[in-house]
A and B are shown apart, each in its own frame.
Chain A
Amino acid sequence: MADTPDGSYREASAPIYEDLQRTEEFQRLRSRYRGFVIPWTVAFLVWYLTYVALSNWAPGFMNTQVVGHINVALVFGLLQFVTTFGIAWLYAVYSQRNFDPLASELNDRFDRAAASAAGPDALRKEDDR
């Protein structure tokens, strides 16, 4: 990455990026990515804040005993662990199936374009390695 260490912006990017951004595959990748991460982020934040709020303001509910000395508060806390592991696992499976093939296809296209284009700018990636 040729980040120019001066007071202005980096040098203008290679046109290949704008071409790639316009492709149908990239549009699909972006909408799949955002379609997954935004709703799930909202969901786990709401779930977590619900837990914090209940701990603060719903003692009657949280203090209900479930089995022996195990109460709702502890179960709710442990459920936060379960959902965290669950969402992480879901993301791992979903991203591998739905993002990775599109990303590598676009990445290959970039590499081919960079290799065939003339001029050092397009070959920047190779220079840095």
Chain B
Amino acid sequence: MNQQALTTVLFLSVVALTVGITFWASRQTKTAADFYSGGRSFSGFQNGLAIGGDYMSAASFLGISGAIAIYGYDGFLYSIGFLVAWLVALLLVAEMLRNAGRYTMADQLAFRMRQRPIRTAASVSTVVVSIFYLLAQMVGAGTLVALLLGVDPNNNFIKNIVIVGVGLLMIFYVVVGGMKGTTYVQITKAVLLMLGSALIVVLVMAKFDFNISKLLGEAADNSGKGEAFLQPGLQYGATLTSQIDFLSLGIALVLGTAGLPHILIRFYTVPTARDARKSVLWAIGLIGAFYLMTLVLGFGAAALLDTSEGSTVGGNSNLASPLLAEAVGGGDGSTGGAILLALISAVAFATILAVVAGLTLASSSSVAHDLYRGVIKKDKPVTEKDEVRVARISAFVIGGVAIVLAIPAQRLNIAFLVALAFAVAASANLPAILFNMFWKRFNTRGATWSIYGGLITCVGLVLLSPVASGAPTSLFPDSDWAIFPLNNPGIVSIPAGFLLGIIGTLSKRETNSEKLYAELEVRALTGAGAEGASQH
């Protein structure tokens, strides 16, 4: 069997496995709590794995190792931001959110704010963040699958078919399996990803006698850049603007995680706040171990593969990990190489599927629970069945929108789309979440100003930056209206989100918000009255 046939078989096995899991999970999904939060019955360890599965996207697995393979040390800087960010989630967000909310990010704010404006705002930002992130994953899936199956990378027809296929699968996971199905898909993926990466890491390290310094030395030599390859600055060090851009990216990465809606709703899937804490602790262990492995994968690829301009990896750095697997398995044409390449490609595919399912679930839950139940049907009672039906319809609509947008978005850089999702999450969501928990005076006006303000500042600055126009790599390279010099807006938009929250709050007094803070605070810190696990 040739390598492409083997890859195809393994891809189909991943699809069959996840589809089977979803059907199995669907038989246990009856109530709204089952659909949105898996009945809140997962253990801390299970949820820790699922968080890892939700978080370690193809952008990390393929993107970071690829960035290290090309830019050396600067690629490593990403993973540090992505990891340290989990301390914000652990210390400030996970447990209190678990106690105060129910199904969506908005619940925790709606606890003491005026329902309609706050649910609308939170839902808008949930959908925007999730769509940016979804686009990144789907564009990545198209490129990756086309290349791994040996299709011409410029053949857009095949890529579009892959995007549609991935889109239909993610709709299926969410509509049929709900949170239970999605969680098990994420757990499966996390296990596959950790085992697959560990296997390649051991094989790489064996080639260098398990000596890190030797690996680094050969990576530096083979890269053709010498010791500079092991030092910061290759990607970002050129000018003061690019250095500030890097600082801006670093801030968005570290503050974005705790504002990502698909991560936040994972805290609702466990029975108590203590389990939420345990799941974050497991997630930190897993994610940390994973990023340490990407370090070896990236430098391993730099040491063992041709990464010069014009080479396969030089042209598409996302292929560094899969081609590294082929190299340590015996190289191009060997059976071992073919098996490992197919295996790692299938793992990467599973990675994409698990992340897009989580994103689709987060946004369709918010549309059904916040917009439909909270805003549209404001005066009429909504049955659970009705609400879940709307959530399933929303999954179709959001999945469809993502497919339609992903096809023209193929020109956009994947790492940039991910960084933008983090920047929006940090600017629009995090300020409102933190103020709501820690500041009694905080109110509806402050929350909506900070959400809309953070969102508009962030997206607006990107539109005025070289990402949109004025540079050869821009979306519109032939025009130039760029007046904001940075590609990463976080350094301005995150403070703007916090500041607008403060100004909005201080400009209006809402005594009801302040009165309800007693209940929010007691509940968040003690769990008194919090939602329990559903019993079947």
Contact = CB atoms under 8 A, between A and B. Distances in A.
A48 B115 CA distance: 37
B87 A26 contact: no
Contact of B217 (A41, A69, A124): A69
A67 interface: yes
B534 A88 contact: no
B529 A110 contact: yes
A67 to B, nearest CB: 6
B247 A10 contact: no
A57 B102 contact: no
A104 to B, nearest CB: 8
Nearest to B118: A9
A87 interface: yes
Contacts of A111: 528
Interface in B275-315: 277, 280-281, 284-285, 288, 291-292
A41 B513 CA distance: 26
A53 interface: yes
Given A6-B378, A70-B213, 16 more contacts: A1-B107, A3-B111, A7-B116, A13-B515, A17-B522, A17-B529, A29-B526, A36-B91, A40-B87, A48-B80, A52-B247, A52-B250, A80-B80, A85-B288, A124-B529, A129-B535
B336 interface: no
B212 interface: yes
B510 to A, nearest CB: 9
A92 B277 CA distance: 8
B115 A17 contact: no
A73 B234 CA distance: 13
B379 interface: yes
10 contacts: A7-B378, A9-B516, A17-B528, A18-B518, A29-B526, A56-B232, A68-B217, A70-B212, A84-B87, A84-B288
Contact of B526 (A36, A51, A84, A103): A103
B156 to A, nearest CB: 38
Contacts of B195: none
B114 A110 contact: no
Bin chain A's interface residue count. Answer: 35 or more
Interface in B114-144: 114-116
A117 interface: no
Contacts of B115: 3-10
A59 B237 contact: yes
Given A26-B526, A30-B521, A73-B232, A9 B213 contact: no
A74 interface: yes
Interface in A10-38: 10, 12-14, 17-18, 20-21, 26, 29-30, 33-34, 36-37
A3 B288 contact: no
Interface of B: 73, 76-77, 80-81, 83-84, 86-88, 90-92, 102, 107, 110-116, 212-214, 216-217, 220, 227, 230-233, 236-237, 243, 246-247, 250-251, 254, 273-274, 277, 280-281, 284-285, 288, 291-292, 373-375, 377-379, 382, 438, 512-513, 515-516, 518-519, 521-523, 525-529, 531-532, 534-535
B374 A5 contact: yes
A103 B529 CA distance: 12
A20 to B, nearest CB: 5
A81 B84 CA distance: 8
Nearest to A11: B516
B513 A9 contact: yes
A6 B381 CA distance: 10
B43 to A, nearest CB: 16
Contact of B529 (A74, A95, A125): A125
Contacts of B525: 26, 29-30, 33, 99, 103
Given A70-B216, A77-B76, A129-B535, A44 B230 contact: no
Contacts of A128: 531-532
B44 to A, nearest CB: 11
A3 B460 CA distance: 34
Nearest to B216: A69
Contact of A48 (B113, B254, B515): B254
A118 interface: no
B88 A41 contact: yes
Given A9-B114, A40-B91, A92-B281, A26 B522 contact: yes
A8 B516 CA distance: 13
Nearest to A105: B526
A110 B212 CA distance: 55
Contacts of B113: 9
A81 B295 CA distance: 12
B87 A44 contact: yes
Given A3-B102, A7-B116, A73-B231, A110 B526 contact: yes
Contacts of A34: 438
A56 B237 contact: yes
Contact of A74 (B73, B87, B528): B73
Contacts of A1: 102, 107, 529, 531
Contacts of A9: 112-115, 512-513, 516
B522 A88 contact: no
Contacts of B523: 17
Contacts of B216: 68-70, 74
Interface string A37-79: 1001100110011011101110100110101111101100100
B231 A59 contact: yes
A55 B86 CA distance: 21
A120 to B, nearest CB: 14
Contact of A55 (B214, B232, B284, B378): B232
Nearest to A71: B230
B469 to A, nearest CB: 26
